[in-house]
Structure 1
Amino acid sequence: MAMPKQKFTLRFITFLLVNLWCKQMVIMAMEIIPIGVVLDLNSTVGEIAESCISMAVSDFYAVNDDFKTRLALFTRDSSSDVVAATSSVLDLMKNEQVHAIIGPLTSSQAKFVIELGGKAEVPIVSFSATSPTLSATRSKYFVRTAQDDSSQVKAIASIVQAYGWREIVPIYEDTEYGNGLVPFLLEAFQEIDTRVPYGSRIPLFFNDTQIMRELDKLKVMQKSIFLVHMTAFLGSRLFLLAKDAGMMSEGYAWIVTDGLSAILDRVGYEIMDSMQGVLGVKPHIPASKKLESFKSRWRKNFTTSKPQIKINELNLFGLWAYDTVWAIAVAVEKAGIVHSGYVKPNTSESTVDIAGLGKSEMGPRLLRSILSTRF
């Protein structure tokens, strides 16, 4: 009776060895495609995006294990600095020979980075740089996988019209992100005969005293209807100060764009308390079992890997980051990308000059594939 068991065991071991050998051969035959990721890892959006990007790679190849290509991600922390983001992109192009770059987070950073992408013919794929002034007309190698800020203008104008407000004052941060939406707002308000008598532009470096001075100016001007277009960093300070100035009381009305409303659940109780009664717009995400399942898995993974960060809810930018990875993975496979580098120019090599990097051999093909990808 022992012999059949031994034969079965030997056959089973042989089968495992053959199976493992075949899988190893498949892995060896895969084309590894380097992709850069540039994020501000000290920000809420950056932390969430990093986790979603990591999950996206695992999820994608779990259901597409027959693909002949595999993305290899190289992540750089740019903080919120434009220079740091630009340096990170140069590093990824020079030292990792990346075929595409996911990021950077902010529109101000993207303004400079997309110029580098155009010169090196490397697609810059951003899920969070939402300023309408950033477009493919500046560089065809810039691809946005998010809605730009102008998409919310009609919704904002509808709110203003519904309340019958004949006058409104935009309060916006003095950045690429803040300034980019203003022309679209002015046009939308003009169409509904709502005046914009004044625009309050707040630089990022303003301290609380300077912001309060601007709020006092608005009070003296007897303005009471405001539209705030800011990121959470500046917007949260603005509303705390507006409450101190008595401008969050009856007689005042406030609307915020999705730069604030999309992440309001993470700004803290004190800030949320100061914003009671504020109206906000943000993109709608249709509910589905697939989405709820992903949120549950993300929450478990995120709280396990980063227990020190008190974030329990996934935001829209995380979902866009996840989809961005899937889009690039599909595009890479469809394009038949093979490992290649950059074609060097006939000039002396430089560690900082973009001219010394040359042009990506596969960049044009990958760009076409990304732009034609649907899923």
Structure 2
Amino acid sequence: MIFPLKNVNIVPNLLALCPVLISFLLLYCTIGDAAVNDYKLTDVGAIIDVNSQNGKEEKTAMEVALKNFNNYSKTNQVVIHFHNSSGSPFDAASAAEELIKEKKVQVIIGMETWQEAALVADVGKKAQVPVISFAAPTVTPPLMPLRWPFLIQMANSQTSQMNCIADIVRAYNWRKVIAIYEDDPYSGDSGTIALLSEALQKVDSEIEYRLVLPPFASLSEPKRVVLDEMLNLLRTQSRVFVVLQASLPMVTHLFTEAKRIGLLGRESAWIINESITSKLKSLVSNSVLSSMEGTIGIKTYYSTTSSSYVQFQKSFQTEHIEEAEANSTAGSHALRAYDSITIVTKAIERMNSTNNDSRVFLKEMLSSNFSGLSGTINFKEGQLSKTPIFRVINVVGEKYKELDFWIPGRGFFKSFPLENGKDKNGDIGNAPSNHLAGQIVWPGGLNLTGPKGWRIPTDMEPLRVAVTRNPPIDNFVKMESPGKYVGFCIDLFHEVLTHLHGSYNEYDLPYDFFPNDGSYDDLVDHVIDKTYDAIVGDITILANRSKFVEFTQPYTESGLSMIVPIEREGSAWLFMKPFTWELWLLTSGTLIYTMFVIWFLEHRSNDEFRGPWKNQISTTMWFAFSSLFFAHREKITSNFARVVVVVWLFLVFVLTSSYTASLSSMLTVQRMKSPRDIDWLRENNLPVGYDHRGSFVKDYLVNVFKLNPMKLIKLEGEEDYLNNFQNNNIAAMFIELPYQKAFLNKHCKEYTAKAASYRFGGLGFVFQKGSPLARDFSEAILSLSENGTLKSLEDKWLSPSPKCLTNSTSAEAESLSVQDFWGLYIISGATSTICLILSLLRLQRANQSTASTPDDITFWKKTQRHLNTAGSLKILERVPTLALRQDVHEWSTPRWDYQLSNSDSESQGTQQASHSAEIEIL
């Protein structure tokens, strides 16, 4: 079947399809718009000085942070709008208004100075836009969160920096510093000087001079202006320079001119704060950095070992290419900029995508709590809650090296401390210290020790040194003629200058002496009011004086001593005092015992010890007592007796020598009649003298000793002391210990001092408060004390007079006791006893050998019989057989009959009453 063809017009059909096509296109566009709207866009403003090195690094760091976030986030995108502040607070405020109005930014980041941050924070407060500032005020203003409620500070105040600088100053005992800063046309020093001064006061230092340099931008001839200002520093003593704030061009001229005029010598020290340390990288290729060699700086510490930092550093070097800086590392400013973007992005992620409330956004940012590249990020009242840790750096050549860590309130650490005091290597010996442990290269190439930090000004007037015209004792200071002074203090002053000149080159101290007749308190007051620069004399170191002046190390001890006249004590029994009564009894007993032993050993063979009992006792006693003076004349025939006598005479010799020495000491010792002390003066209300030059002595006597002020008599020098004592105007006198020594060295026979004295701080030289001369003089005095020079001066000026060289200073000599000689008495007693026993044994053996028949009489019975018959021996006739024995001595007596006692007759039995006897004398 064939179908016929029909002509159709297609144009109207295409027109009918147009509405359908349009619907499909609209639907596609709608879907595309919905896909785009799935990303929430956030506009962020950044106000920085893009021409500065810090500004360039901050810009690169923020771009790296945003790139990382935008690549990672699937729901949020952040767009940053940069504006150049050119370092002007007004330009920063104008840029903030433009960003808020035109770019509709939701947060503003940047502002390197507090002046910029404060103005931008005012703009943010009005527009209710959060502001994250890279700067913080030097001193936190009161009610700061109420004044700038939308401000977040990504920086700490300068209080910690000033405390770190003060600890460096304390580590080297620098007493004065010079503060240098470039004037800010908007805010001056912003309170930095006040913070530094407060921190230095805590370490007993102060600011001697403030050098304010005009703003560099306002100078047409900066080199000449800086040189003129630096020349003023040559008139100051301090050589410790603290540079607080300065622009990069000013730093360049400052150190160039300082080195030119010699302010970077071996005695100088330069310290720069973090704002200048962060600019050192800009000077690496500059010869100025080499002129800064030896400078110490501080910078905020941050970890460089974390993976996030390593990754950031790679990205930073890739992005930071301009001006051949591809190998440069990011500084603390760049890290803070990176962390600021991180704060913003983390807050955006925590917020609801439909919530655009700026207060909620601010709250989310303030609740941040994470470990960023610059440290822990946590806020309290709009400020970072954690105090930063600083790292001390030292400029060496054309680079700088990092030294110790400094932690607020703890001091310096050689390595970074972790928990339990250990460092990252596990070393537990990393203890905090008040000193820098790292080796520092100082200006002038000084490596071993720190510079002394001061120098005598080149055009300094001679030091005005006050001396006491009429001291209590002229051994210390004496004016021989107008302008010529001698004495212990004057010689010591010259020795100190000689020592300092030998220890330090160019230590030439010009000085002039000025005599003064006022009291010592008046002299100290004149140093306080700067009438005099120093005092050379016998000035006592007291607490109330030390608050206003600087004392040197004491060169001699001081204290309050009581002087009284000497009165000897008489005693009828003084001759008995050399020995204690126990020693007298022991000596008497030993004498009697020795007397008996000698008699026993001698009376059978020595005619001088024979005869009636009365004669024998008297002879023996005479021998014993005369032996005390080595005047005995009796002959000793027995060997045993000779041994006893030798030991006895040795004992006598020691005793008599000791007795003579002890008695002589007691006869010459200086003693007082009765105890004389403060209580004695107070109870008897006696008049007391004191020297008028030591005005504090009177206050001490009244307030401490409670003496009657009406009984205190003012004395004026040594001659007045003697006159008042001789006229009985005073019963005692109180003078300081050095004067007491000098006074008694001359008058030791007439006066004595109480044993106990009341100590003070010593005598020292006086300088103005904070004077560096005091420390150098103290070190010199210690050195002179160690090498014997101080002792030589004391021997020269404070040695006793010839009549006092042998004078005893003890109050009373002690009696000799048994403990001093018990060894001699044991030897003497043992020798006598042994000789007696041996003699008795020989006598018994001889009797047994001559007896015709044995008997049973005991040894002690025979001894008793021998003693009983000692004086009644009779010999009727000479026995011729005695001569036949060689070992028998013949003795004769007028009485030849040997009368036996009744006891003997009974014991012998057969023995006759009258019997011729043969007697062996052994």
Please give the range of the TM-score, normalised by the shorter of the 2 chains: 0.7 to 0.9
Alignment correspondent of 2:363 = 368
Question: C-alpha displacement at 1:27, in angstroms?
Answer: 4.7
Worse-matched range after superposition: 268-277 or 171-180: 171-180
Letter aligned with residue 366 of structure 1: F
Alignment correspondent of 1:277 = 294
Matching residue within 66, 78, 84 for 2:85: 78
1:49 and 2:58 correspond: yes
SS in 2 for 1:276: coil
Question: C-alpha displacement at 1:311, in angstroms?
Answer: 6.7
Are the structure 2 counterparts of residues 153 and 23 from structure 1 closer, same or farther at C-alpha, using a change threshold of 3 Å?
A: farther
Alignment correspondent of 2:193 = 182
Alpha-carbon distance between aligned partners in 2 of 1:232 and 1:275, rounded to the nearest angstrom: 15
Give the conservation status (yes or no) of the 8 Å contact 2:64–2:315. no
Alpha-carbon distance between aligned partners in 2 of 1:312 and 1:187, rounded to the nearest angstrom: 37
Alignment correspondent of 1:209 = 224
Question: C-alpha displacement at 1:232, in angstroms?
Answer: 4.2
Q: Deviations over 1:271-318 (max 9, x none)?
A: 211110001111111221432232122112212xx2555772211100
Relative to its length, the structure with more helix (as a share) is 1
Alpha-carbon distance between aligned partners in 1 of 2:268 and 2:240, rounded to the nearest angstrom: 6
Question: C-alpha displacement at 1:263, in angstroms?
Answer: 2.9
Give the conservation status (yes or no) of the 8 Å contact 1:131–1:181. no
Alignment correspondent of 2:208 = 197
1:218 and 2:233 correspond: yes
Letter aligned with residue 254 of structure 2: L
Aligned length: 329
- Consecutive unaligned residues of structure 1, counting only runs of 5 or more, are 1-21, 341-361
Alignment correspondent of 1:292 = 310
Q: Deviations over 1:335-371 (max 9, x none)?
A: 336486xxxxxxxxxxxxxxxxxxxxx3322221111
SS in 2 for 1:222: coil
Alpha-carbon distance between aligned partners in 1 of 2:260 and 2:344, rounded to the nearest angstrom: 47
Give the conservation status (yes or no) of the 8 Å contact 2:48–2:55. yes
Question: C-alpha displacement at 1:124, in angstroms?
Answer: 1.4
Are the structure 2 counterparts of residues 247 and 69 from structure 1 closer, same or farther at C-alpha, using a change threshold of 3 Å?
A: same
Alpha-carbon distance between aligned partners in 2 of 1:241 and 1:101, rounded to the nearest angstrom: 40
Alpha-carbon distance between aligned partners in 2 of 1:151 and 1:338, rounded to the nearest angstrom: 42
Matching residue within 329, 354, 359 for 2:345: 329
Letter aligned with residue 114 of structure 2: S
Matching residue within 225, 238, 243 for 1:228: 243
Letter aligned with residue 179 of structure 1: S
TM-score, normalisation: structure 1? 0.80
Alignment correspondent of 1:242 = 258
Alpha-carbon distance between aligned partners in 1 of 2:159 and 2:36, rounded to the nearest angstrom: 44
Question: C-alpha displacement at 1:220, in angstroms?
Answer: 1.6
Give the conservation status (yes or no) of the 8 Å contact 1:337–1:366. no
Are the structure 2 counterparts of residues 324 and 107 from structure 1 closer, same or farther at C-alpha, using a change threshold of 3 Å?
A: same
Give the conservation status (yes or no) of the 8 Å contact 2:317–2:326. no
Alpha-carbon distance between aligned partners in 2 of 1:119 and 1:188, rounded to the nearest angstrom: 37
Alpha-carbon distance between aligned partners in 1 of 2:33 and 2:80, rounded to the nearest angstrom: 21
Alignment correspondent of 2:816 = none
Give the conservation status (yes or no) of the 8 Å contact 1:157–1:192. yes
- Consecutive unaligned residues of structure 2, counting only runs of 5 or more, are 1-30, 371-922
Letter aligned with residue 324 of structure 1: S
Give the conservation status (yes or no) of the 8 Å contact 1:111–1:134. no
Letter aligned with residue 166 of structure 1: R
Letter aligned with residue 109 of structure 1: E
1:103 and 2:104 correspond: no
Alpha-carbon distance between aligned partners in 2 of 1:244 and 1:252, rounded to the nearest angstrom: 14
Alpha-carbon distance between aligned partners in 1 of 2:229 and 2:237, rounded to the nearest angstrom: 13
Alpha-carbon distance between aligned partners in 2 of 1:101 and 1:332, rounded to the nearest angstrom: 14
Are the structure 2 counterparts of residues 159 and 337 from structure 1 closer, same or farther at C-alpha, using a change threshold of 3 Å?
A: farther
SS in 2 for 1:281: strand
Alignment correspondent of 1:59 = 68
Name the larger-Rg structure. 2
Q: Deviations over 1:153-175 (max 9, x none)?
A: 22211111001001112112222
Identical amino acids, percent of aligned pairs = 25
SS in 1 for 2:55: helix
Give the conservation status (yes or no) of the 8 Å contact 2:136–2:157. yes
Question: C-alpha displacement at 1:253, in angstroms?
Answer: 1.0
Alpha-carbon distance between aligned partners in 2 of 1:285 and 1:119, rounded to the nearest angstrom: 35
Give the conservation status (yes or no) of the 8 Å contact 1:173–1:179. no
Alignment correspondent of 1:139 = 148
Give the conservation status (yes or no) of the 8 Å contact 2:58–2:334. yes
Alpha-carbon distance between aligned partners in 2 of 1:104 and 1:134, rounded to the nearest angstrom: 17
